[in-house]
A and B are shown apart, each in its own frame.
Chain A
């Protein structure tokens, strides 16, 4: 069956226009807040801290901060993207249109991933202004960023389908993702923790994401890159399965 590419393009364009309309909120604000981390923890405090694994502290925290922004923006963008039509009632058009779940995902998740990746690249460029860093495996870095962005946009899409209030939209990013990122080695190596907490940290899925990206930057990480990639792919497949099931059954979208 051929794809309804006009439909995909329409959704994608609609979502990108929404981001451009709110560029201060969707682009400037996250870049600025992440830059503040670079200034405070990278330039100011980082200069007084020792290297970790041969990498300066300012540079060491770049993958973690990049991942923090990427995760929260991917989830928020995709969640808002599908929640807004539900909230405003315009989802009637999507439900009555000749589009399938793959096309809906390509439009919404594609646009959300584009936005969060653009943001990630802007953050990387901004970090350069405050902290010197090198990227050991640039292709892996880009690939891992794309994989993570798509995976967490899918996760955000599920949250948007599930949420029936603006509060619920914010619950997962604020109460789950942010703490997991801070405790997932964004500012430290989990090898610096006592053995018990190292083991506990391995149950934190964000550890694998930060570790994978850190390996792409500096060639060394807490967890092997294959494990990080495998865990991320597994989570993406789980999200795809949930979205497929939601569209198949109409759960929370089609009465």
Chain B
């Protein structure tokens, strides 16, 4: 059966990737961070640096989580969506995705991966070349009125009507989405977003952060069930970011489904229930955040030695160890999923070798580490 015709077959085969909607994405996942760093990367990110500092052994492999597991009560359902622009660039490749009602879903991916195109297809701004999308059960093409009425979108760019007042533009959005005027509701939104005292100001007079709030107010003005936040944290200060995420949590508690893209991966780590990673138009991972971190996350055990070592003794070669430049820190990377992590044997072997340590600490991969490794892993695979 061709890939494009692969039917959904439930979760039973999902672990192996067989029968998942993007079967090609599930494959062994060798952790070779160091090798995956781009050669010309002059300024690696903190995550890349960390990953490079703690390479994992070549034999250490793990299967990627499934990309798509159809959800019975999905509020957004993307089925086999591909998008090829007029110039021939394929921005999306056979994407299948279900968003659960009431969840916060974070869509991660490097620049140009297809995040915004996917959101634009769902919201109706870009026509999919192939595939279907439903929002709250309504087909976004055939039943676009009902579908779009359920969606609020905060775009990545600060697109605003500069000469309009805050009050006018938010009320305009509500009307445009087919809702009768409701000044009390608009007042509540503006107060929640600390915009009430700016309601009569022209948008051009507002700061970038305030304009971002206005866009959020516009997106919320018609009481959507689904809220898309496309890079909402870009260019906003810490205070607004915290306010925004507080509001996102409140919206979720009120039943709104949130789909966000962000470059601040710690935000996704902090906020999201599930994570999707998209790269070169392909959804390579969709998983519960906790599961993803558990499955793909790795732990490091750092031992601070009493005496510096010149090299790692050959008798310890069976463990993937790295020695710091000063010879005082020995780091062991291991798979926390395994029953036998090898720590006990390692510590015993160290004792046998007469290597004593005065401190030990463990740490695990952040979502950013995982994201970097996923993206670079797939670069290798596709290269």
Give A contacts to B, CB under 8 Å. Answer: 1, 4, 6-7, 9-11, 13-14, 17-18, 21, 88-90, 92-100, 250, 254-255
User: A95-B124, A96-B148 given as contacts; is B159 within 8 A of A88 (CB)?
Assistant: yes
A200 to chain B, nearest CB (A): 40
Q: Indicate if the CB atoms of A89 and B85 lie closer than 8 Å.
A: no
A23 to chain B, nearest CB (A): 13
**Chain B residue with Cβ nearest A12:** B175
A60 to chain B, nearest CB (A): 41
Which residues does chain A contribute within 8 Å of B194, judged by CB atoms?
none
Q: Indicate if the CB atoms of A92 and B155 lie closer than 8 Å.
A: yes
Q: Indicate if the CB atoms of A97 and B159 lie closer than 8 Å.
A: no
Which residues does chain A contribute within 8 Å of B149, judged by CB atoms?
98
Q: Indicate if the CB atoms of B218 and A93 lie closer than 8 Å.
A: yes
Q: Interface with A: B161-169, B243-251, B303-311, which one?
A: B161-169
Interface string of B68-89 (1 = CB under 8 A from A): 0000000000000000011000
List residues 102-150 of chain B with CB under 8 A from any CB of chain A.
120, 123-127, 144-149
**Chain B residue with Cβ nearest A95:** B125
**Chain B residue with Cβ nearest A84:** B161
Q: Interface with A: B35-43, B45-53, B177-185, which one?
A: B177-185
Alpha-carbon distance between A97 and B123 when the two chains are bound, in angstroms? 9
Q: Indicate if the CB atoms of A96 and B124 lie closer than 8 Å.
A: yes
A34 to chain B, nearest CB (A): 26
**Chain A residue with Cβ nearest B159:** A89
Most interface-central of A90, A96, A250, A255 (chain B CB within 10 A) = A96
Which residues does chain A contribute within 8 Å of B86, judged by CB atoms?
255
Q: Indicate if the CB atoms of B163 and A7 lie closer than 8 Å.
A: no
A65 to chain B, nearest CB (A): 31
Q: Does B172 contact A (CB under 8 A)?
A: yes
Which residues does chain A contribute within 8 Å of B153, judged by CB atoms?
92-93, 96
5 additional contacts (CB under 8 A) given A89-B155, A97-B148, A255-B127: A7-B176, A98-B144, A98-B145, A250-B127, A255-B85
Q: Indicate if the CB atoms of A97 and B177 lie closer than 8 Å.
A: yes
A225 to chain B, nearest CB (A): 40
Q: Does B157 contact A (CB under 8 A)?
A: yes
Q: Indicate if the CB atoms of A96 and B151 lie closer than 8 Å.
A: yes
Alpha-carbon distance between A254 and B127 when the two chains are bound, in angstroms? 7
Q: Indicate if the CB atoms of A90 and B85 lie closer than 8 Å.
A: no
Alpha-carbon distance between A26 and B163 when the two chains are bound, in angstroms? 16
Which residues does chain B contribute within 8 Å of A89, judged by CB atoms?
155, 157, 159
A-B contact pairs, 28 of them (CB 8 A): A1-B145, A6-B176, A6-B177, A6-B178, A7-B175, A7-B178, A13-B175, A14-B172, A17-B164, A89-B155, A90-B161, A92-B125, A96-B123, A96-B124, A96-B125, A96-B148, A96-B151, A96-B153, A97-B176, A98-B145, A98-B148, A98-B149, A98-B178, A99-B176, A100-B145, A254-B127, A255-B120, A255-B127
Which residues does chain B contribute within 8 Å of A250, judged by CB atoms?
127
Q: Does B365 contact A (CB under 8 A)?
A: no
Most interface-central of B86, B145, B146, B179 (chain A CB within 10 A) = B145
Q: Indicate if the CB atoms of B172 and A6 lie closer than 8 Å.
A: no
Most interface-central of A17, A97, A250 (chain B CB within 10 A) = A97
Q: Indicate if the CB atoms of A254 and B177 lie closer than 8 Å.
A: no
Which residues does chain A contribute within 8 Å of B90, judged by CB atoms?
none
Which residues does chain A contribute within 8 Å of B291, judged by CB atoms?
none
**Chain B residue with Cβ nearest A250:** B127
A140 to chain B, nearest CB (A): 36
Interface string of B170-202 (1 = CB under 8 A from A): 011111111110000000000000000000000
**Chain B residue with Cβ nearest A22:** B163
Which residues does chain A contribute within 8 Å of B168, judged by CB atoms?
14, 17
Q: Indicate if the CB atoms of A88 and B145 lie closer than 8 Å.
A: no
Q: Does B341 contact A (CB under 8 A)?
A: no
**Chain A residue with Cβ nearest B148:** A98
Shortest Cβ-Cβ A-B pairs, 10 listed: A10-B175, A89-B159, A98-B145, A98-B148, A96-B123, A95-B125, A4-B178, A6-B175, A97-B176, A10-B176
**Chain B residue with Cβ nearest A11:** B176
> Which one of A6, A17, A92, A95 lies within 8 Å of B179 (CB-CB)?
A6
Alpha-carbon distance between A111 and B368 when the two chains are bound, in angstroms? 50
Q: Indicate if the CB atoms of B162 and A88 lie closer than 8 Å.
A: yes
A90 to chain B, nearest CB (A): 5
Q: Does B13 contact A (CB under 8 A)?
A: no
Which residues does chain A contribute within 8 Å of B144, judged by CB atoms?
98
